[in-house]
Amino acid sequence: MRKPQIPDQQRNALMLFIVLVVTLSAELFVFNLAHWRTISHGNVSVGAASLGSGLRQSDTPGVYTITDADNAWIDFPVTTPDRQKPLLDSIRIVPPDDTQHDEIPPTTHYQLSTRNEAGDWVNISYSAWRNQLTENLAYCADSPATQYMLIPNRTTDAIRISFTDGVGATVPISSIAPNVTVPLTICWQRILAILLIAALVLMFRPASPLYAVTVDLRNVRQRIGIIVNVSVLCLLFVALCCISGDITHAYASRSYNATFSHWTDLNQYQQLADAFLHGRLNLDLPVDPQLAAMDNPYDFYQRQQLGESGATIFWDHAFYDGKYYVYFGALPALILFAPFQALTGHWLPSPVAVMVFGVIFICAISALLTTLCATRFRGRISYGTLLLSVNLTVLGCGIVYYGFQPDFYAIPFISSLAFTALGLLLWCTARTSSGKLSTARIIGGSAFIACNLGCRPQFLVACLLAFPLFWNEIVHTRELFSRQSIGRTVGAFVPFAIAAIPWMAYNAARFGSPFDVGSAYNLTGYDATRLRPALIAFPAMLFIQLFQPPMVNTEFPFVHAINNAIPVPCEPSLGGYFVIVPFAALGFLLVALRQRLKAIHVFGLAVILATTATLMVLFDIGLAGTTNRYHGDFAWLCMLLAVVVLYALETRHGPSAYDGPTVARTVFRTVLLAMLLWSLFIYVTGCFSPERYDPLIDLNPNLYYTVKSWFLGFYAI
């Protein structure tokens, strides 16, 4: 006997009700757990505070200066109304009222101690809200949510606040409020995040109605759904580019890096655009005479010694023949930074450039996957699978890394991703609705891919995809590579020749060779003109780049970057690519599904994608070591391969509209959804990792500690 079916309207209403209940429950009880834990407590009175000898009162009430780091503390005696030692369960640091004063720092670090029966001070920072590495607490004077912490039921007669920011630091503290109830807060950002996650789960759950229909671009509702999905992704990426702080930091002054004893200047593209506008190829940076006089300026340890003695040497710039250059691709400087400066007289902030290229990439890659569904798989892919693949691909191409750290390092990658996606999109749509092959689209696709010469040349491997994409036109219909199609064939190659000439001349004018981009002259932590990673280190580097497990624990931010101590160039890593983006591992089914891939004429495409991805991984680690930033060089290839395999599996089994859901399909779709949520978890929480380069805890401490306060109720358990 069949179970009665629930009407769609009732099912949708039930789903909406569940989402609302879950959202409200999470907001009121999970993220406000600290409120419910401190809602009932005894009254506590605070006596007159006594200052340690290491604190000096400033002219502003409630603001102090640290003069001796070992004695920078304030003691607060506490008592109950009947003069007994109180049992403490919470405390609030109360900053002075004038928190907008110029001398108020964005963050104040401290340790919390209580006095025991013997009169000794016991540090309880480890059991409250702490930083895992330093056991320091922190609060922001202009963020009340960060000023609370829980105490694991300590009985004491005094509380000591010891400040740990070092001599000369400013300390804002007016008083403390023990046994205070943490306020119940409603945060729209949290609610929005929960709703977005709920939307993903509802959209891509195994029984989602999105899987019951195939892709039909004539359907207005489907087109609107694709546009909405892409728009949300673009808005989230733009928001991500803003979380690291003020996007106008392109105007920030140069800073000294005490670790490397070099100066950093993150405005390389702005400097390069300014050089172009003034008829120069080198940057207008002062060259220290001691650097110019070095026999080998690429010797890091000698440069470090010069930097320690006061020499001004700029980090991560190409230095050649006594001048500084940018070794990154110059095309973004020509098409974005220079025009902006010429029109406005100001420098274009790097995050804005990353936003522009990121939005272009998201739109182009979404259109590319939609085109693959409509052309290569001709209506055999479910609508839900298309939307899921778009979200997985955008997330899996590494743009979260570039959006979080939208500086000049990100620009070559994100611009090449945008140009490559645009080029492949034009190639895939070269066959028009009339059945003719569009010469203009072929040339346009080649032109966009040729732009990689001026961005990130590694992306030129996209040229190889032309052969499987146009295999039928080359071998069977002879619309390419034949006498009749000589004009179209030549047109496909001309953009690369046109693009190569100026870039080769640009390289020759700077470094004396048309093929020398200057990366070997980089002033970095090793001599790039001589050293390369040893072959014996390749297995470890491959493991780190592709398969290293992330460091996940139960303490905020839940994911911590790993600083790999191997004798090769490397940076703190959130994990190997296939562990962060397990969906990409679907490409390993290439051999097992070769017959199916051949049947739908995409096996050649899959082989080229797998081969080029492998070559890119080996090239990157052999040339420059390991870092999550380099994932962008091969991630797009891995994601396209995984999508092709996914579409082949979908085509093999058919969407549920034809033969109904099965246990295998339910399990498979559940796994895909879990992969999406896992990658989202790693990338988002990884943005808060204090161990990564330029961590959010330094760039935007207010945001870091505010988000951390959301989980305050889970501490001191």
Residue 26 lies in a domain: no
Residue 616 CB: number of other CB atoms within 10 A? 22
Q: Which of 514, 510, 488 is nearest to 499 (CA)?
A: 514
3-state helix, strand, coil in the chain (%, to 5): 50, 10, 35
The predicted-structure confidence for 214-243, as pLDDT tens digits, reads as follows: 888 889 999 999 999 999 999 999 999 988
Residue 710 lies in a domain: no
Q: 278: which 2 tokens?
A: 């003034």
Q: 529: which 2 tokens?
A: 């003109």
Q: Do 513 and 627 fall into the same domain?
A: yes
Strand partners, 551: 560
Q: Strand, helix or coil at 3?
A: coil
Q: What percent of the chain has pLDDT over 70?
A: 92
pLDDT higher than threshold 90 for residue 184: yes
The predicted-structure confidence for 266-284, as pLDDT tens digits, reads as follows: 899 999 999 999 999 999 9
DSSP 466-495: HHHHTHIIIIIS--SSSSTTHHHHHHHHHH
Residue 670 CB: number of other CB atoms within 10 A? 13
Specify whether the CB–CB gap between 679 and 394 falls below 8 A. no
Which residues have a Cβ under 8 Å from the Cβ of 554 and sit 6 or more positions away? 714
Q: 716: which 2 tokens?
A: 């001191």
Q: What is the spatial distance between Cα 518 and Cα 325, in angstroms, rounded to a whole number?
A: 8
Q: What is the spatial distance between Cα 614 and Cα 638, in angstroms, rounded to a whole number?
A: 9
Residue 540 lies in a domain: yes
Q: Do 339 and 409 fall into the same domain?
A: no
Q: What is the pLDDT of residue 152?
A: 75
Q: 238: which 2 tokens?
A: 């733009």
Question: Residue 285 to residues 24, 293, 303, 306, 324: CA-CA distances in angstroms?
Answer: 55, 17, 17, 17, 7
Q: What is the spatial distance between Cα 360 and Cα 356, in angstroms, rounded to a whole number?
A: 6
The least confident of 7-21, 448-462, 607-621 is 7-21
Q: Do 227 and 261 fall into the same domain?
A: no
Q: What is the pLDDT of residue 102?
A: 63
Residue 39 CB: number of other CB atoms within 10 A? 10
Q: Do 392 and 284 fall into the same domain?
A: no
Q: Are strands 87-94 and 73-79 parallel, antiparallel or unpaired?
A: unpaired
Q: Do 273 and 419 fall into the same domain?
A: no
Q: What is the pLDDT of residue 248?
A: 53
Q: Which of 199, 93, 98, 201 is nearest to 148 (CA)?
A: 93
DSSP 276-316: HHTT-SS---PPPHHHHT-S-TT-HHHHHHHHHTT---BTT
Specify whether the CB–CB gap between 157 and 115 falls below 8 A. yes
258 by Cβ neighbours in 10 Å (0-12 / 13-18 / 19+) ranks as exposed
The least confident of 89-103, 245-259, 427-441, 565-579 is 245-259
Residue 592 lies in a domain: yes
Q: Do 359 and 391 fall into the same domain?
A: yes
The residue from 344, 366, 386 where one domain ends is: 344
Provide the pLDDT confidence category of residue 127 given band limits of 50, 70 and 90. Answer: low
DSSP 386-407: HHHHHHHHHHHTTHHHHHHS-S
The pLDDT of 53-80, averaged and rounded, is 90
What is the radius of gyration, based on Cα positions, of the chain? 29
193 by Cβ neighbours in 10 Å (0-12 / 13-18 / 19+) ranks as middle
Residue 488 CB: number of other CB atoms within 10 A? 20
Residue 19 lies in a domain: no
Q: What is the spatial distance between Cα 538 and Cα 502, in angstroms, rounded to a whole number?
A: 35
Q: What percent of the chain has pLDDT over 90?
A: 52
Please tell me which of 159-173, 371-385, 476-490, 689-703 the model is most confident about, judged by mean pLDDT. 159-173
Provide the pLDDT confidence category of residue 77 given band limits of 50, 70 and 90. Answer: very high
Residue 717 lies in a domain: no
Q: What is the pLDDT of residue 363?
A: 97
Which residues have a Cβ under 8 Å from the Cβ of 631 and sit 6 or more positions away? 398, 401, 545, 577
pLDDT higher than threshold 70 for residue 369: yes
Give φ, ψ of 270 to 5 degrees. -65, -40
Q: Do 322 and 394 fall into the same domain?
A: no
Q: Do 314 and 202 fall into the same domain?
A: no
DSSP 90-111: EEEEE--S-TTSTT--S-EEEE
295 by Cβ neighbours in 10 Å (0-12 / 13-18 / 19+) ranks as exposed
The residue from 344, 364, 389 where one domain ends is: 344
Q: Are strands 73-79 and 45-46 parallel, antiparallel or unpaired?
A: antiparallel
pLDDT higher than threshold 80 for residue 571: yes
Question: Residue 172 to residues 27, 51, 58, 283: CA-CA distances in angstroms?
Answer: 31, 13, 10, 42
351 by Cβ neighbours in 10 Å (0-12 / 13-18 / 19+) ranks as buried
Q: 400: which 2 tokens?
A: 């979260």
Nearest-5° Cα angle at 517, 538 to 278: 145
The predicted-structure confidence for 304-358, as pLDDT tens digits, reads as follows: 999 888 889 998 899 999 999 999 999 999 999 999 999 999 999 999 999 999 9
Q: What is the pLDDT of residue 247?
A: 58
Residue 15 lies in a domain: no
| Domain, as residue range, for 333 | 249-344
Provide the pLDDT confidence category of residue 660 given band limits of 50, 70 and 90. Answer: low
Q: What is the pLDDT of residue 656?
A: 45
Residue 166 maps to which CATH number? 2.60.120.260
Q: Check residues 379 and 526 and name the one with the higher pLDDT.
A: 526
pLDDT higher than threshold 50 for residue 444: yes
The pLDDT of 402-412, averaged and rounded, is 92
The pLDDT of 189-214, averaged and rounded, is 91
Residue 709 lies in a domain: no
Provide the pLDDT confidence category of residue 707 given band limits of 50, 70 and 90. Answer: very high
In this structure, which long-range contacts are made by residues 460-467, counting pairs with CB atoms below 8 Å and at least 24 apart in sequence? Answer: 461/612, 461/615, 461/616, 461/637, 462/420, 462/423, 462/424, 463/496, 464/608, 464/612, 465/424, 465/427, 465/605, 465/608, 465/609, 465/612, 466/427, 466/492, 467/604, 467/608
Q: What is the pLDDT of residue 72?
A: 93
Question: Residue 60 to residues 56, 64, 538, 565: CA-CA distances in angstroms?
Answer: 11, 8, 58, 46
Q: Do 416 and 298 fall into the same domain?
A: no
Provide the pLDDT confidence category of residue 98 given band limits of 50, 70 and 90. Answer: low
Q: What is the spatial distance between Cα 55 and Cα 64, in angstroms, rounded to a whole number?
A: 6
Residue written as token pair 């991500």: 240
Q: What is the pLDDT of residue 539?
A: 85
Q: Do 376 and 481 fall into the same domain?
A: yes
Q: Are strands 45-46 and 137-139 parallel, antiparallel or unpaired?
A: unpaired
- Domains identified in the chain, total number: 3
The residue from 293, 315, 344 where one domain ends is: 344
Average pLDDT, the chain: 87
pLDDT higher than threshold 60 for residue 657: no
Element (H, E) at 159: strand 158-163
The pLDDT of 438-445, averaged and rounded, is 92
Q: Do 525 and 448 fall into the same domain?
A: yes
pLDDT higher than threshold 80 for residue 565: no
Provide the pLDDT confidence category of residue 653 given band limits of 50, 70 and 90. Answer: low
Q: Do 464 and 510 fall into the same domain?
A: yes
Rounded to two decimals, the pTM is: 0.91
Q: Which of 386, 397, 446, 440 is nearest to 422 (CA)?
A: 446
Q: What is the spatial distance between Cα 33 and Cα 24, in angstroms, rounded to a whole number?
A: 13
